[in-house]
Structure 1
Amino acid sequence: MPNHDDVRDAISLKNRVLVTGIFLASGAASLILQVLWFKQLQFVLGSATVSVSVTVASFFFGLSLGSVVGGRVADTVHRPLKVYGFLELALALVSLAVTAFLSHWPTWVGWLAPMLDLESPLRLPLMVALSLAILSLPTMLMGATLPFLVRYLTRAQTDLANRIGLLYGFNTLGAAIGTLTVGFVLMGLVGITGSSLVAAALYVCVGLAALLVARGRSPLPPSPATTNMPAQAPGSQQGSTTILIWVFACSGFVSIAYEVVWFRFLTNVSTSSVYAFSGMLGVYLLGLVIGALICARLLAPRKDQLLRYFAVTQLLIAVAATLTVGILGKARTVGVALHPIVSSLLPVPAQELLGGDVSFFLICAIALLLPTTLIGISFPLASELTVMQMSALGRRIGSLYALNTIGGVLGSLAAGFLLIPYLGSQWALTVLIALNVLLFVATAVSQPGLLRERSLWRQGTVAAGVIAVSLLLFTPHYLERVLTAIEGANVLELRETRQATFAVVEYQDGAAGTYQQLVVNSKSYANNRPEGRRYMAAMGHYPILLHPGPVETAVVICIGTGTTVGAVSTHQELQSIDAVDLSPTVFEFAPHFVPINKQFYQNPKVHQIVADGRHFLLGTNETFDVITLEPPPPHDAGVINLYTEEFYALAKQRMRPGAVLAQWVPLDFNRGILPKMILKAMMGQFKHVSLWLPSRMEGVAIASDEPLTIDPRMLAMRMSQPAVADDLTANGLRSPEDFLATFIAADAKLAAFVGDVPTLTDDRPRLEYYNWYPLSSISVDELKRLREPVENYLADKSVDEARLDTARTVANAILDEHQATAEGDRSAADAAVRLALKLAPDNSYVDFLDRKLRE
C-alpha cells in the first residue's frame, strides 16, 4: 500500500499534461531565440565557419553549465515547479535584453573593431569572450529548466524513463515547432525584434502557468540520503554506471556529428534558402520527438530490458545510418519522382509558403526519420540507467544532459572541421557508423549481464556484417558520384571543406567554346561563359570608370571565378586591391579560371583575404575609392548581411570622399519586389544610386554620395588603357558609347521605379523570407520603359550622339534576345540578334549570341 506522503504527492494526469505542455512551449521559445541570436551574432562576428562554430559552442556551453548547476540546485529545493516558473519569467526578461543589445550592435562594436581585425591576435579570444558574455546567462537559464521539471514530475525511480521521455519528447517537439515557425512565418512577418517578443511572451505564459500549478502543490518531502533503485537492471552496478554515462556522452557526440554530415550532404540536393535549412532541422527534431515518445510509452515499462534496449539502439542507429547512405545517394532521383506528385496534391499557395521545397522535405523525412527516431530513444533510456539515487536526481539528470550536450558540441566541431574536410561525406558517415557499433560493444562489454547474452552478440555480429557488406556495395565513391553528377560537364576538381562542397566543372559548347563553372553545394555560383563574364567584368570596370577622380584603392567582396577582381586589376592607376572571400578554396581554385581572371592571385597589388565581407569592413581601418561586391543570390540563407541598410552604412564609413560602390542586383527574380528592396536599401544610405544593365537581367547598381556626373574624356581615357580596352572589347564593350548604352536610370527616376517597397534591414531580412511577396517579375519591356537618357548625366557633349543611339539600339536588342530565348520564341530571338549584328558586326558579345542561336 502506498503511504500517505505518496498519495499526497501523486501528480494528477491533468497537471502532468499541463506541465508537459508548458515545457513544449518553452522549447519553442528557446529555438526561436537560438535562430535569432545566431543571425544577430553573424553581424558582429561574421559568417565564417570559425565564427559560427564559436557561437554554437558558446550556446551549448551555457546549456551544459546551466543543466549542471540547475541539477544540483533542484535536489535542494522543495518547490521545483515554482523555481521553474521563475526561471521562465527570468528568461523572458533576459531574452529581450539580449536581443535589444544585439540589435544595437553598431553603437558598441565600433571600439572593438581594431581587436576584431583579421590580423589582430586578440580576434579569436575576443570572439569567444563576446559569445560567452552575450549568451551565457540566457542559455544557462534554458539549461537549468529540465532538472527542475524532472524533479517535480518524478516521484519514483520506476517513473523516470517515462517522465524523461515525455518531457524530452515534448520539449523537442516544441523546438521543432519553434524552428519551423520562425523559419517559415515569424521572421518574414515581424522580423527579429517581433520574433523575440513572441518568444518572450511564450516564456511569460509558461512561467505564469507553472507558478499557478505550483500554488496548489505541497512542498516535496525531503528525500532520504540514499534510495536505491527498486529493481537493478542486469549488471548495472555503480562502476558500470560510470561507463554508461561516458557512453551516453559519446552518443551525443555521434548524434550531432551525424546531423552535421547529413545536413552538409542534403544542401547539395536542396535550395540554399532558410526554408530548406528550417525543414531539415525540423525533420531532425521530429525524429527525436518520435523516439522519445516511443521510449516513454513502449520501452520504459520494461525495466528489466532497458540496458539491452540501450545497447541494441546503438546498433540499430548504425544500421539505419547505413541505410541513410543509400538513400542519400538516390536523393536526386527520389526528388525528381516526388516533384510531380507533390505538385498535383499540394495547392500552389501552400507550395509557395513552404518555399518550393516540399519535395526536399519529403526526402529529408525518408532519409532521416528512422535514424533520428532511434537517436531520440537514447536519452530517456540513459537517464534511468544512470540515475542511481533519487536524492541525487536533479544532479544526475543535469550532469547527464551536460555531458550529452558537450559531446554534441565536440561532435559538431569534429564533423565540420575534421571529418568532412579530410575524409569527405561518405567516409565521415562510415566513421560515425563504426563509432555507433563501438558504443554497442562498449555497453555490452561493460555490463556483466549483457556480456553473457549470446543472442545479443549474435545480433551484433549480424548487424556488423550487414553494415560492412552494404558499405562495400556502395563503393568508396558512392556519394561522391552524386556530388559530381552534373549533366554535360567534366569535373576538374571536387573538394568538401568545412565551409561547403566546392567543385570546378568544365563544359564544351559550340558557341561559348570551353568554359568553366564554380559549383558550391551543387549550385552554380559563377562561370566564365560570355553572358556571365560580361556582367562580372562590368562589376569591376564600371565603378572605376564612373569614379570622378583618381582611384588608388579598391576592395572586391566575393570572388567567385575571379573575373571581377581580374577586371579591376587591369586598371593600372590602382595601387592596392583587397580581394575578400569567405572561403580559401575559392582562391585555391582560381587557376582553373585563367585567363579570364587575369591570374589575379599572382598580382602583387592584390591581397587575398579570407573573411566574411561585412566583418572585413567592420575590422579594417582602411578606406577605399571603390567597393564592388557580387554576393551569392540574395535569397540564400545567411547572405542577407551583405544587402541590408546597415551593411551599406558600414561600407559608407570605409569609403573615401567621392568613392563609388558597385552592387550586383539580379533583376530576374520571379518576385520583382526583391531587387527593388535591394535598391531601396542602397538609397537609404547613399544620396545617389544608378542602375546599369550590361548583360541579360544582371543589374549593376552604382552608389555614391556624389552626383552621377560622367566626364566623357576621362571615360575614354580610362577605357583606352591597353589592358582595360582588351578586357572590355572581349566582353563587347568596345567604346564609351557601348558602355553608356547600358545605363538604365538614376536618382529620381530610379526612385519612382522602386516606389514604396519595404526596405531591408538587419532586423527585417525580408529577402530570405521571399515567400511572403507576390509572384510578379520585372520584364525587359518594363526596364526599357524605365530607361532615361544618359546624356542627362554627361559633363559635356563630346560623345558621338549617333553612335550612342546605335549602341542603345544594340543594347535593347540584346535584352530582347534574352527575353525571347527565355520565352522560347526563337524567331523573335533571331530577329533581335540579326538587328544587333547588322548595327555592330564586330561586337564580340553579339557575335557570341549569333553563334548560340545557330547551334
Structure 2
Amino acid sequence: MFPQDQPTLGTDARRRFLPVLLLLFVGSGCAAMIYEVVWLQLLQLVIGSTAVSLGVVLASFMGGMGAGSLLLPRLVSARRNPLRVYALLELAIGLMGLMLLYGMPYVEHVYVLYAGRGALDVFFRGVVAGVCLLPPTLLMGATLPAIARRVETDPEGVSWLGFFYGGNLAGAVLGCLAAGFYLLRVYDMATATYAAVALNVAVAAIALALSVVPGGSEAPSEPGPFEISSRGDRAVYLAIGLSGMSALGAEVVWTRLLSLMLGGTVYTFSLILAVFLTGLGIGGSVGALVARRAESARAGLVACQWLLTLAIAWTALMISQSLPYWPILPEVSSSPWYTFQLDLARCLWAVLPPACLWGASFPLALAAVASPGQDPGRLVGRVYASNTVGALLGALVFSLLLVPAVGTAHAERVLIGLAAAAALAASIPLLRSSSRGPIRPSLVLGSAAATVVAGLLAWYLAPLPWQVVAFGRQTASALPQAVPGIHQEKPADLGEADFFCRYVGEGANVSVAVTESSDGYRSFHGAGKVQASTRPVDMRLQRMLGHIPALVHPKPESVLVVACGAGVTAGSFIPHPEVRRITICDIEPLVPQVVTPMFGEANYHVVDGIARENPHNVDGKQVEVIYDDGRHFLRTTREKFDVITSDPIDPWVKGCAALNTVEYYQMCKEHLKPGGIVALWIPLYECNEETAKSIIATFFEAFPNGILWSNDREGIIYDAVLFGQVEPTVIDVDALQARLDRPDHKVVKQSLREVGFGPAREDGLEEGVDLLNTYAGQASMLKEWTRGAQINTDRNLRLQYLAGMWLNSSLDERILRGIRSEYRFPEQTFVGSPERIAVLKKLRHRPTRWE
C-alpha cells in the first residue's frame, strides 16, 4: 500500500518542497480548528454544557491528539512514504468529520437510553466523548509526526519542524475566525463541516501529487533506534509538559476573565482563542529561527520559561488592574465591528506576550532533545505528547478544581509557579558543563534569584475587581473614575444608585455576584450583567413567569424551573396550593446554595432548606435542586411536569442558544403532562428586531398556539414572557379571578399586588384582569411580523450568532411597537363575563407614551 523510499536525489530536492509542506499544514490546522468548534457544539447538545461535560470533551480531544503523536511512529515504519501517510491521514480525518456530523443523532439516541445521575453518568459522558473524538483526534495528532519524517533531525530540519508547528497554528487561527465569524454565523454546522472536509481533501490531493514528483517522495536516510539519551532529555520533556499545563491553564483562566469584560458572546471566545493561537504561532516561528541558530536550545527554553513568569504576571495585571479602567462604553455605538476592534486590541495587549513565549517553547524543546540520526517522527511525537498531556492536565485541573476552589487570582499564582517549575526543570541539564563537571554556581544563583522574583510577582497579584464580575462589559459605567472629567449616564441595568458588593463567587461554570444598591434593591449578577433583582420591573417579570402558567393551568401539581437565579420565579409557585413538587435545575451550584438564599424575602425562601437536605420541604411542597444544564436534564429525565418555566441568561451568551432551539422546545413538549404549559423569559433590550423575531418565531414554530406577554408599564419596555401549550389556550377570566379570590389563594393575590398588579396600581382593577392585560399577541396574529425570521435549530444555533452581533442595541421600543401594530383582541383566547372582557379590551387599547 505504501511505496518504499526512492533513491536519494539530494538535500536540495527535499528542501524545495518544504515551503509547500508548510502551506499544507496551514490548511490542515484550519480544518482541525473548524472541526473542534463544530464537534464541541455537537457534543454539548448531547452530553450537556456543564464544566464536567466540557472537561470530558476536552480530555478526549487532547488525549487523542497526544496519543496519536506517540502511536504513529510506533505503528508506521519510517520507510513508508511520509507524504502518502500524511495524505491518507487527512482523508481519514475528513471521513471521520462526515461520520460525526451524520452519526451524532444516533449517538444521542443511545446516550439518552443509558444516561443517569452521579459518577456513573460522568463516566458515561466520558465514554460518549471518547467514542466520538478519539478516532479523529488520534489521526490529527499523527499528522505532525508523519510529516516530520520528511526532514532530518539536524538543526535545519528541527527548525523546519518548528515552522510546521507555527504554520499549523496559523491555520488554526484562520479556522477559528472562519468558523466563528462566517461559517457558523451565516450557514450551519453541516456547511462548516463540508468546508473542513474540502480542506482535508485538498491537502491530501496536494500531498499525494508531491509524493510522485521527483524529490517529493524522498525521505531522509533510515533512522537509528530512538532512545531518551540522558537525564537532561527527561528534564526537557518534563519542562515542556509543565509549559503545556501552564499554557492551557492560563487559557482557561484568562478566557473566563476576558469573556466577562468583553461580553460572553461566541465572537468574544473566537477572538480570545484566535489571539492566543496567533501568539503561539508567532512564538513557534520565532522559536524555530532561534533553534536553528542558537548555540544552546536548552538555554533558550529556560529563558522562555523564566520570561513566562513575567509575562503571566503582566497579563494578570492588565486584566485586573488596567483593562477594567479603559474608558470603553459599549453603548456608544451599536455597530459590532467597532466593538470587535476594541476587543481585539484588548486581547492582543493582554494575552499576546505570554502566548508568544509558550509558542516558542515547543521548537526549542524539539531542538533541545534532537540529535542527528534520530527518527524525527518519534522525536516530534514524544515532545508533542508531553506538551499535550501537560495541556490536558492544565485545562482539567484549572477549570474543574483550582478556579472553583481558590479563584482566578490564586490560579494565576499557580500559573507563575508552573512556569518557574518548568524553568527549573529545563535548567537541570545546564547545571554542569559536562556530565561529571562541577555545578555552575552562577546558574544556581541566577535560578534562585529568578525564583524569588517569580514568588514576589505571584504574591502581589490582585484579584479582578468585583465590578467586572457584576457588570462585565459595562464596567466603565460602574467605575466612574475610569473616565475622569466625562459625565456619563449609567445604563439601565445599573440604575442611578451606588452599588455595594455583598458576595462574589467563582464557580466551575460561571462567576456570580450579589450587590445591593443605596436605594435598597438587591441584584444577582451572572455572565457580567444583572440577571435578576428586586427592582419592580424585574420582580414583575419573575413573578409573571410563575403566576401566569400556574393560574392558567387548572391544577399545576409538578413544576420544573430551568435556571434558579434569584429564585423569585421558583418561589412564585410556593403560594399556589395545588403545587406539590418543584424541581429547580441550575448549571452552577453556587447559585442555589449561596446566591438564592440571599433573596429569601422575595422568593419565599424556596431553597433555604437545601443546606440541610435535597430535596427539602417548603410549606408542604417538595423542592429539589438538580445541578445540570436544563437541556441535558430534560433530555435525560423521564419525569413529566404540568409547568416548565425557563429563565436562562441572555441569548447572546455563548451556549444559551441551545435553550432556545426548536428541538429544545420539542423536548419541553414531550415532558409536559396533558394541558401542560411552557413559559419562557425573553429580553427585548440588548437586541435588535431580527434577534427578537428569531426568538419569538422559533418558539412559535414549536408552539403554533403560543402567546406573548409583555412586561411593560406606562410605556417602559423591558422584557416579555413566551407562553405555550400543545392545545389552543382558552383562559376563563371569571374563573381565574374567582380562583384568586379564594382564601387559599390569598398569598398569591398578595404576591401579584406586591409587583403592581391590581388595586395597588389602579383603583378597582382586579389582579387577574390586570395580569392578563400583559397580553401582547399570539402566534396566529404575529405571522406577518415574524415572516422571514431565522429559526434557531440545533444544527445552526443561529440565535447566539445573531444576538451576539447586536447586544449593544437598544431597540426595545421599536420591537414592542412592531408587535403592538399587529394587535387584535383574541376573542377565542379570553372568555368570560362581558364586563371583564370589556375592561380587558379598554386597558389594552390605551395609548402609551411612544405610540
- What range is the shorter-chain TM-score in? 0.7 to 0.9
For 2:756, the equivalent position in structure 1 comes to 732
Q: Which amino acid aligns with 1:705?
A: V
Aligned length: 785
CA distance in 1, matches of 2:787, 2:559: 32
Mean Cα deviation higher: 328-337 or 769-778: 769-778
Confirm or deny that 1:403 pairs with 2:386.
yes
For 1:844, the equivalent position in structure 2 comes to none
Structure 1 or 2: more helix by fraction: 1
1:505 aligned to 512, 515, 526, which one?
Answer: 515
CA distance in 1, matches of 2:460, 2:242: 28
Confirm or deny that 1:100 pairs with 2:124.
no
Question: Does the Cα contact within 8 Å between 2:304 and 2:361 map onto a contact in 1?
Answer: yes
For 1:828, the equivalent position in structure 2 comes to none
2:348 aligned to 365, 375, 398, which one?
Answer: 365
CA distance in 1, matches of 2:722, 2:337: 30
For 2:763, the equivalent position in structure 1 comes to none
2:146 aligned to 145, 148, 173, which one?
Answer: 148
Residue 8 to residue 440, structure 1, CA distance change in 2 (3 Å) = same
Q: Could you give the per-residue CA deviations for residues 343-372 of structure 1, whole angstroms, max 9, x where no partner exists? A: 9xxxx89x5357x33212211111111111
Residue 799 to residue 58, structure 1, CA distance change in 2 (3 Å) = farther
2:600 aligned to 588, 594, 604, which one?
Answer: 594
For 2:705, the equivalent position in structure 1 comes to 688
Confirm or deny that 1:613 pairs with 2:595.
no
Question: Does the Cα contact within 8 Å between 2:14 and 2:218 map onto a contact in 1?
Answer: no
Shift, 1:385, TM fit = 1.6
- Relative to the length of structure 2, the TM-score reads 0.87
Residue 248 to residue 528, structure 1, CA distance change in 2 (3 Å) = same
Question: Does the Cα contact within 8 Å between 1:527 and 1:561 map onto a contact in 2?
Answer: yes
Question: Does the Cα contact within 8 Å between 1:160 and 1:384 map onto a contact in 2?
Answer: no
Question: Does the Cα contact within 8 Å between 1:248 and 1:382 map onto a contact in 2?
Answer: yes
CA distance in 1, matches of 2:542, 2:467: 30
CA distance in 1, matches of 2:267, 2:577: 45
Confirm or deny that 1:21 pairs with 2:23.
yes
Q: Could you give the per-residue CA deviations for residues 614-641 of structure 1, whole angstroms, max 9, x where no partner exists? A: 1111111111111111111111101111
Question: Does the Cα contact within 8 Å between 2:66 and 2:384 map onto a contact in 1?
Answer: yes
Q: Which amino acid aligns with 1:595?
A: E
Confirm or deny that 1:271 pairs with 2:263.
yes
Q: Which amino acid aligns with 2:778?
A: A
Shift, 1:224, TM fit = 4.6
For 1:136, the equivalent position in structure 2 comes to 134
Question: Does the Cα contact within 8 Å between 2:710 and 2:720 map onto a contact in 1?
Answer: yes
Residue 176 of structure 1 aligns to a residue in which SS? helix
What is the 5 A alignment of 1:277-676? 277-297=269-289, 299-333=290-324, 335-336=326-327, 352-353=336-337, 356-388=339-371, 390-449=373-432, 452-457=439-444, 459-474=446-461, 477=463, 483=469, 486=478, 488-509=498-519, 514-547=520-553, 549-588=554-593, 589-601=595-607, 602=609, 603=618, 604-676=621-693
Mean Cα deviation higher: 8-17 or 43-52: 8-17
Q: Could you give the per-residue CA deviations for residues 570-593 of structure 1, whole angstroms, max 9, x where no partner exists? A: 211011111111111110111111
CA distance in 2, matches of 1:128, 1:339: 40
Q: Could you give the per-residue CA deviations for residues 1-32 of structure 1, whole angstroms, max 9, x where no partner exists? A: xxx97652544554211111011111010000
Residue 625 to residue 577, structure 1, CA distance change in 2 (3 Å) = same
Shift, 1:606, TM fit = 1.5
CA distance in 1, matches of 2:68, 2:84: 17
CA distance in 1, matches of 2:467, 2:606: 32
Residue 477 to residue 300, structure 1, CA distance change in 2 (3 Å) = closer
Residue 424 to residue 108, structure 1, CA distance change in 2 (3 Å) = closer
Shift, 1:668, TM fit = 2.9
Residue 304 of structure 1 aligns to a residue in which SS? coil
For 2:53, the equivalent position in structure 1 comes to 51
Q: Which amino acid aligns with 2:180?
A: G
Q: Which amino acid aligns with 2:344?
A: F
Question: Does the Cα contact within 8 Å between 2:48 and 2:632 map onto a contact in 1?
Answer: yes
CA distance in 2, matches of 1:218, 1:557: 59
Shift, 1:118, TM fit = 2.7
For 1:213, the equivalent position in structure 2 comes to 210
Residue 725 to residue 408, structure 1, CA distance change in 2 (3 Å) = same
Residue 41 to residue 398, structure 1, CA distance change in 2 (3 Å) = same
Q: Could you give the per-residue CA deviations for residues 311-356 of structure 1, whole angstroms, max 9, x where no partner exists? A: 111100111111222211234445426989xx9xxxx89x5357x3
Confirm or deny that 1:196 pairs with 2:193.
yes
Question: Does the Cα contact within 8 Å between 1:738 and 1:808 map onto a contact in 2?
Answer: no
CA distance in 1, matches of 2:181, 2:217: 42
Question: Does the Cα contact within 8 Å between 2:33 and 2:176 map onto a contact in 1?
Answer: yes
Shift, 1:780, TM fit = 3.8
For 2:762, the equivalent position in structure 1 comes to none
Residue 37 to residue 111, structure 1, CA distance change in 2 (3 Å) = closer
Shift, 1:190, TM fit = 1.3
Question: Does the Cα contact within 8 Å between 1:78 and 1:219 map onto a contact in 2?
Answer: no
For 1:785, the equivalent position in structure 2 comes to 821
Residue 687 of structure 1 aligns to a residue in which SS? coil
Shift, 1:48, TM fit = 0.9
For 1:167, the equivalent position in structure 2 comes to 164
For 1:116, the equivalent position in structure 2 comes to 115
Residue 651 of structure 2 aligns to a residue in which SS? coil
Q: Over aligned residue pairs, what C-alpha RMSD do you find? A: 2.6
Identity among equivalent positions (%) equals: 28
Q: Could you give the per-residue CA deviations for residues 734-792 of structure 1, whole angstroms, max 9, x where no partner exists? A: 22220121111123202222113121111111111127989876344333323221444
2:747 aligned to 698, 723, 726, which one?
Answer: 723
Residue 600 of structure 1 aligns to a residue in which SS? coil
Q: Which amino acid aligns with 2:734?
A: R
Residue 396 to residue 161, structure 1, CA distance change in 2 (3 Å) = closer
Question: Does the Cα contact within 8 Å between 2:777 and 2:823 map onto a contact in 1?
Answer: yes
Q: Which runs of 5+ in 2 are unaligned?
A: 1-5, 480-497, 610-617, 759-766
Q: Which amino acid aligns with 1:244?
A: V
Residue 92 to residue 147, structure 1, CA distance change in 2 (3 Å) = same
CA distance in 2, matches of 1:337, 1:692: 35
Residue 91 of structure 1 aligns to a residue in which SS? helix
Question: Does the Cα contact within 8 Å between 1:501 and 1:520 map onto a contact in 2?
Answer: yes
Q: Which amino acid aligns with 1:220?
A: A
Residue 691 to residue 479, structure 1, CA distance change in 2 (3 Å) = closer
Q: Which amino acid aligns with 2:261?
A: V
Question: Does the Cα contact within 8 Å between 1:551 and 1:574 map onto a contact in 2?
Answer: yes
Confirm or deny that 1:242 pairs with 2:234.
yes
Mean Cα deviation higher: 770-779 or 528-537: 770-779
Q: Which amino acid aligns with 2:255?
A: F
Mean Cα deviation higher: 70-79 or 169-178: 70-79
